[in-house]
Structure formats: structure tokens, C-alpha cells
Amino acid sequence: MAYYRQVGSIPPKRHTQHRKPDGGLYAEELMGEEGFSSDSSLLYHRGIPSAIRDARPWELPDQSLTPNTPLLPRHLKLHDLEFKEADPVTGRRLVLGNADVRITYTVAVNPSPYYRNAIGDECVFVERGTATVETVFGALDVGPGDYVIIPRTTTHRWVPTSSDQEPLRTYAVEASSHIAPPPRYLSRYGQFLEHAPYCERDLRTPDSPMLAEGTDVEVYVRHRAGGSIHVVPSHPFDVVGWDGCLYPYAFNVADFEPITGRVHQPPPVHQVFAGHNFVICNFVPRKVDYHPLAIPVPYYHSNVDSDEVMFYVDGDYEARKGSGIGKGSISLHPGGHSHGPQPGAVERSLGAESFDELAVMVDTFRPLDLGEAALATDDRRYAWSWSRPLS
């Protein structure tokens, strides 16, 4: 997504001298994707960005995965998970995952450590609460309904700003690839096209440098061999300016303009982001199908290439009534199992003019396994909800 931004102090030409007030040189860092053949940004540091003074292992929380066997659709109740004095990074609990993507959930009250994901981009959805996301590019203030896209290797930390009575609840999609708007929404040069359900005006980006002070700062690094903690001699947020097309940004789900039609529209119209072997969609409050004989809820469908994960955030989800699903629930509908509305939902939906629902969906093109948080919150009844009612 070639949306150029310029923040802070940079020299007139790239790769030329940029001097400090004392005459010394700022350190120029090129942060680029795909071997510097795709989007990139240039950052100008007061210190040397590659300097470290110490390193030690970071023992990650339980990352084990269990196959979904026997193959079952599942209902996971994330609000039943317990978190004690957690932070939005080290407190993440693994819900679902495969080689392409991992989905985690956290309820946090404490600031996270400084953190860098060296495996892939992250898309963090803020379910409840507020926070400041401090990054090497600058800060973003985020709240309910915000997606926060953080490019791979971006040093950042999460600082919850809401009270203990309204902790920060985050639903994180950790990729092993980059995450971006779907290519069909963009021109050949990266501009959002007219049919896209959101555009550049809806994106919030850092607008000033952090310029934090500090020495011997710990940075937690997630990498393919596990986790490490680097101690860096000067604060990582020492960037005086940057420019380019690669940076973190926030997008609020309320700014997504739903696409509707006379008859029921397929799930791709709800897509908001894409990564390698997975897509992210959102279902927002909207007017529904207006053909005189329309059936507003989804038809039964077998997505033969995908596992479908729906995270229910708010509202009243018409198709799932009678299944026990509510706010904070996840439904997992694996490839190989046809799914659709609960018994009675079709009849109840006839004549509806609008749906008041908010949900985030992740479709993966490789099977998902169950993390420890899924095993801890599986209600073990959902698979039978089409054949017998749940009390």
C-alpha cells in the first residue's frame, strides 16, 4: 500500500548527510519488505539502531497446538479466560494457530515491555478499553473497534490507558507474512479504488516522533527460534524523523462501509485485510438484503478451502441465536464441515431490514489447530447445536 508519509526531521535527499545540532550524523536505517523490493521507510536515529549490550532467552507462554480431531465446529468462550496483572504482549494466550497465523487473546492492565515481532506483521483488534501504542515511528492512541497494523520488526509497546474496571481487551492476529488491504481494493500504484469499503482518509498514522530518553532498555524479540530479550544501550524510540510507505497505522471498524445487495452477499464483501494464506473480514451493523423474497441470514455453506473463525464483539448475531454464542465468543467452523444458521434463524430473519452485529472473521487456507486457550474455553456442546437446542 504505497501511501507515502513524512514525519519529523529528514534531509532533502535520501542516503545523504543528516546532521545533529552538535555536528554529528544521525544514523539512517532503511526498513524494507521483500528484500527491499517492496514498501520501505527511512528512519533517522540519534543512536545506532543495531547496537546491543546483552541478550538472553525469553521464555514464551505456552505455544503448543493440538489438532482439531475429531473434526468438530467449536464454540470458545474467551471471556472465561483468567488473566492476572497481564500486559498486552507477554500476557497473550494462544487460541488457534497454524504455520501462517496465530490468534491470541489478552485482557491487560499493565504496560507491555518494548517488543518487536521478527516473524511477521501483527493485526491487533481492540475489543474494549483504550491504550497508547508507542512505536519507533511515533504513537497511536487506540480504543474500542480499532485495528492496529504493526509491520514486522517494528519496535513498540502497549500502554493501557483505561481503568482496571475497563481493562484493555485485545484480539491479535500474528502472521508469518505481511498484512495489508486486499489487492483488489488498490490501484496498480497502491491507491484505494472507488469500490473499496475504506480509504486513506480512514487511516490514522503517527504524526510526530517519540524522542524518548533512556539507557540499557530491554526489548523483547519474537523470532523463529523462540524469543529473546535484547538490552540496547540507548532508547529505541530515538528517531528524529522518517519517511516512506511502511509504518504502523490504526483503522476503526466503524469507518468500514458495508457492501449490501438485493440478495445475500458472499463473505468476501466483508474483507478488510489479507495475509499469506488467510484473510480478515468484519461484519458490521448494516442494512440487509432488500429483494422481496430475500433471506437475510447466510445460506448453509461449505468453504472447502478454509477454516473460518468468527470473533463476536458486539450486537446481536442473528444466525447464531440458539447456540449459546454471545459477546466474547469464538466460533470455529473447520473446512470439511458445512455450517450456517441455527435452526429457526432463517424464519426469524425474514423481513428484517438491518442487522446490529459486530464480529471479526479470520479465514485460513490451512487447517487451524487448538491452542491452550481454546482447550480451556471450549463449551463442548456447539457441534450438536444444529441437531438439538442448547439450554
**pLDDT in the model for residue 1:** 61
Q: Is 298:358 a contact under the CB 8 Å cutoff?
A: no
Nearest CA-CA partner of 106 in 58, 64, 167, 59: 167
**pLDDT in the model for residue 374:** 98
Provide the 10 A C-beta neighbour count for residue 374.
25
**The whole model's pTM is what?**
0.95
Q: Is 18:28 a contact under the CB 8 Å cutoff?
A: yes
Q: Is 179:154 a contact under the CB 8 Å cutoff?
A: no
Using DSSP's 3-state secondary structure scheme, residue 190 falls into coil
Beta bridge partner(s), residue 239: 45
Nearest CA-CA partner of 152 in 175, 129, 170: 175
Helix (H) or strand (E) holding 27: strand 27-32
| All cell numbers assigned to 57 | 532467552
d(CA 47, CA 234) in angstroms, rounded, equals 7
Q: Is 96:374 a contact under the CB 8 Å cutoff?
A: yes
Q: Is 92:104 a contact under the CB 8 Å cutoff?
A: yes
Architecture per CATH, 254-384: Sandwich (2.60)
Alpha-carbon distance values, 116 to 141, 155, 217, 221 (Å): 19, 5, 13, 5
Candidates 3.40.50.300, 2.60.120.10, 3.30.2010.10, 2.40.128.280; CATH matching 54-70+82-237+245-252: 2.60.120.10
Q: What is the pLDDT along the chain (391 residues), one digit of tens a residue?
A: 679 999 999 999 999 999 999 999 999 999 999 999 999 999 999 999 999 999 999 999 999 999 999 999 999 999 999 998 899 999 999 999 999 999 999 999 999 999 999 999 999 999 999 999 999 999 999 999 999 999 999 999 999 998 777 899 999 999 999 999 999 999 999 999 999 999 999 999 999 999 999 999 999 999 999 999 999 999 999 999 999 999 999 999 999 999 999 998 888 999 999 999 999 999 999 999 999 999 988 888 888 899 999 999 998 876 677 678 999 999 999 999 998 888 888 998 998 888 999 999 999 999 999 999 999 999 999 999 998 766 5
| All cell numbers assigned to 252 | 476503526
**pLDDT in the model for residue 319:** 66
**pLDDT in the model for residue 165:** 78
Nearest CA-CA partner of 313 in 128, 142, 97, 122: 128
- Give CATH 2.60.120.10 domain extents, the chain: 54-70+82-237+245-252, 254-384
